[in-house]
Structure 1
Amino acid sequence: VIASGARYRRLDVANLAEFEGTSVHYWASPIEARLCRDQEVALVGAGNSAGQAAVYLASQVRKVTLLARRDSLNATMSRYLVERIEAQPNIEVQPETEIVALD
């Protein structure tokens, strides 16, 4: 077994380290879901991992805003996930969006 770890893409913003571990997380486990319960969360990404996280978090939080750089999820996400996201009333997709700062 080789467990070499994961390399997450990090946002290119100056003060990212200030928020990591407190309000910026790199996965959506039950721990993060508890931390965010009944809140509004923003999720950055448009691949299958982001889609799965959005669907999972939508069952735990008030609202998920999915921020995607492209104009559509269809090019980077499986069709079944796109359909599940479209069916969730508390998931809002913001296409053509980039994070430029954290405050």
Structure 2
Amino acid sequence: MSVVGTVVGFVVFFSVVTNAFSDSLGGTSSEVKAPAASAPASDAPAGAAKVGTRENPAPLGSAITGKDFTVKINSVNLNATDAVLGAKQFYV
């Protein structure tokens, strides 16, 4: 009987932890809205990665909207390694 209790306790514990972890992350759904001057998505080559991924980043001026946030991409610094490393010693 103690084995059954241990197994049930184990399953309940991990389901609660999994739900808490999932809730804390808030999901991963977001929407990218490209600025009006950008080329439409229909011009993308077949097999192109989804906009907003590392392979196909969103263009400048895009708005990325999630459940509780909206972020607009105004600029990018492709050579920011020195600035990041110089800001905090914990980033090393």
Identify the TM-score tier after normalising by the shorter chain.
under 0.3
Give the helix-richer structure, 1 or 2: 2
Larger Cα Rg: Structure 1 or Structure 2? 2
Q: TM-score, normalised by structure 1?
A: 0.24
Q: TM-score, normalised by structure 2?
A: 0.26
Higher relative contact order (CA 8 A, sep 6+): 1
